[in-house]
Amino acid sequence: MKRMISVLLCAVTAAVMLCSCLGGAKDVTGGELIKKARAAYKALNSARVLMTNTATGETEQEFTFKYDEKDILIFSYKGKSEKSEYAQYNNGAELFTYENGSLTYRQKGEEGFVLYTRDTTHPQADEGLILYSPSAVTEASQTEENGLTHIRHEYDAAKIGAKSESGTVKAFSADFWFKGEELQYFVETTTVEENGSEKQYAYKVEITEQNSVAKVENTVKAYENKD
């Protein structure tokens, strides 16, 4: 199965969110807090992740997950961009996928079906959702703002593999806001060169309903009768 986060997403492919291995690199400013947030996220039993376009205020991507009593991952995803629309639901036995008007269904054991567990989880349920790749950070800062700790990392876009549907990625940054050691949210901003001019895309990522998701709904059902 495709890594869904790189199938479509916003104008900027969020594959950068998955290339956050530490690789033994020396920590940069704010690294300890971010590593704690990554570990805390990975340890969750359930959560809903919202990715909101800061320019429009629209939530363009949503990922919800929950581990069952056997530590099998149940998840749903839906997302869209100017050019693509995608949704997926996996309950550990069945896989439903919607992609740009096409619906597919697979069962456990069939080609293309992937079973995720707590030990081998989906990339968006793993710590890699929260980007931290110190060897690729070019500038790092930490400030206190209105009772929150603001950590900013500017990245070498090429080193983290940032890509865009609409042009060449020129710059990428990640801003994190913490209250104490608890991550409140983070914003990833990408500068893209499109037809000779630069455009910025910024997405706010919030991890909500932590350990409180009662049921993961099948997001693909909403597309079954869509033209």
> Is pLDDT above 60 for 21?
no
pLDDT at 68: 98
> Is pLDDT above 90 for 23?
no
Residues 165/53, Cβ–Cβ less than 8 Å: no
Q: How far is residue 223's CA from residue 86's CA, in Å, rounded to a whole number? A: 10
pLDDT at 2: 34
Q: How far is residue 43's CA from residue 119's CA, in Å, rounded to a whole number? A: 11
pLDDT in tens, 63-90: 999 999 999 999 999 998 877 899 999 9
| pTM, two decimal places | 0.88
Residues 118/131, Cβ–Cβ less than 8 Å: no
pLDDT in tens, 145-186: 999 999 999 999 888 887 777 778 889 999 999 999 999 999
pLDDT at 174: 96
pLDDT at 13: 43
Please, what are the domains in the chain? Answer: 4-223 (2.50.20)
